[in-house]
A and B are shown apart, each in its own frame.
Chain A
């Protein structure tokens, strides 16, 4: 083989090896991470004083009393109890 052909063959082989080196099997799956709320913090509904009207009754900052108030409103949606008082 002539030296020139030999050089060309060697270069071609090197290019092929280099080309194959680009075909690696790197990990394609992205690991999912749960996002976290990035906005402003919100206040709790029971941290407000009840309105002066409307028959609301709970103590500011007391979650249990606010839940009782909401529960009363909730049961108002049951007409069997609201109308017939059963």
Chain B
């Protein structure tokens, strides 16, 4: 009796240990065959930039043409930190004028089209001078390390992203020291209020939070969309009725589906809330959910990065 039982358990354990080792290596393999499927729809949904289009055509996932809404990304400061907000915003504008802003933007093709500051709209007379900051001051940049392409771990393991580079450039311009404070997104308000960081600058949406922070300049905008597999029968927002849609917790897409797009969310069979989009994307690949509600830049990053 004990012998048999032991044998059965032993047999059960073998696939478990194999499952533990094998799954990471097969991740890349499983995405390859799907890469060429349904290029036409992918192009249809693509934006103006040729690079974005090329990237989307290469992937088997695309956004629906209808979007959920537009939002603006700005820098959030502690309430009452008007002076700091003004100085940083001024430095960002100065970087737009000297071309640094566009230069950094070029490194991140997914967000290039969403950078909304234009040199023509800026009045150079009100901006802080280069090197005018207090050199003994260290500016603590608070951000989520899981929010590409605004702030994320680079391939070489260093901290980077558009927001991180722009913030570093601001500190260089003003002559401040720079300190990165990657935090848990859920704890951002506690971090800011506790003073462990001076700002929240990480693809941070202003809409709906207008009164909660002292806001710096809006430097990027973004569109919330619905990401579906290339062979999906979902073509419009109405087709999402009765489907399972994934979203990351504490994101604008999530807030929108709870608020301005609540009626749409109510038609879903289920709104699955994830801790990170990475897991949601794996679920979409595996076919466990039908679509993901995500902003266009993070979504493009997800699909191009995972299909390349």
Are A and B bound to each other?
A: no
